[in-house]
Chain A
Amino acid sequence: EPEVTQTPSHQVTQMGQEVILRCVPISNHLYFYWYRQILGQKVEFLVSFYNNEISEKSEIFDDQFSVERPDGSNFTLKIRSTKLEDSAMYFCASRPGNEKLFFGSGTQLSVL
């Protein structure tokens, strides 16, 4: 079965630094998402992306966050100035249409 690929699997950064989390969605999918999960909590929606623009974003997705699809394959999430509370597992997901979401294995972000 095709997979969503995320890199790196772990990222450690200092507070205030910028991080970029990378994702390669499944090639024929049209809709892309970022979710995050703080340890022990539920999966939280951050942003959805379609046709090279943001479709929907949550309250969490403030001005410190941005997403890009710089080429035909990569989908990135940038956090400009990380805070301690940004520490979480970040999941990328994609879907072809109104079908199931395919999730990547996540990037564990630790902000020190």
Chain B
Amino acid sequence: LAKTTQPISMDSYEGQEVNITCSHNNIATNDYITWYQQFPSQGPRFIIQGYKTKVTNEVASLFIPADRKSSTLSLPRVSLSDTAVYYCLVGGDTGRRALTFGSGTRLQVQP
């Protein structure tokens, strides 16, 4: 399984754009890159998924370079409610395979 590496923590202020980068050097050809958000005492919640280039939805953008060895989650104009742990996962070409969480990035948004 591809291992992921993320910063342990990040700090930001309300209204700023936050970019969280994840390294996944041994990503497999069929692997997708998926980001989840987790609030305390809640289950992880899907944010965005991509395979290559750029993906955007209503809450975030995901940038994936051509070599796919890293990815960057971009949160535009964060608010206090975006304070959470963000996990980058790699895998999932078939549902049989486990999706393994790394240590995640703890984002703290200040007023």
Instruction: Give the size of the chain B interface in residues (CB under 8 angstroms).
Output: 25
> Nearest A residue to B102 by beta-carbon distance?
A42
- Kindly identify which residue among B34, B41, B93 contacts A106, using a CB–CB cutoff of 8 Å: B41
Chain B residues with Cβ under 8 A from A95's Cβ? Answer: 95
Q: Report the bound CA distance from A58 to B99 in whole Å.
A: 11
- A58 / chain B contacts, CB cutoff of 8 Å: 98
Chain B: which residue is nearest A4 at the CB level? B43
Which of A13-21, A48-56, A63-71, A76-84 faces chain B?
A: A48-56
Which B residues lie within 8 Å of A93 (CB)?
A: 43
Give complex CA distance A30, B42 in Å.
23
Closest residue of chain A to B31, judged by CB? A98
| Chain B contacts for A105, CB-based, 8 A | 42-43
Contacts across chains A and B counted by CB atoms under 8 Å: 67
**Bound-complex Cα distance A45 to B98 (A):** 7
Q: With A55-B96, A103-B45 as known contacts, state yes or no: A98 contacts B101, CB within 8 Å.
A: no
Tier of interface size on chain A: 20 to 34
Sample of 11 more A-B contacts, CB < 8 Å, known A44-B101, A95-B95, A98-B93: A35-B101, A42-B102, A42-B103, A45-B99, A48-B98, A55-B98, A58-B98, A93-B43, A96-B95, A99-B92, A103-B44
11 pairs of residues in contact across A and B, judged by CB atoms under 8 Å = A42-B87, A45-B100, A48-B98, A55-B96, A55-B97, A56-B96, A58-B98, A98-B93, A99-B92, A100-B34, A101-B36
Interface residues of A (CB under 8 A from B): 4, 30-31, 33, 35, 42-45, 48, 50, 55-56, 58, 89, 91, 93, 95-106, 108
Give B contacts to A, CB under 8 Å.
Answer: 32, 34, 36, 38, 41-46, 49, 87, 92-104
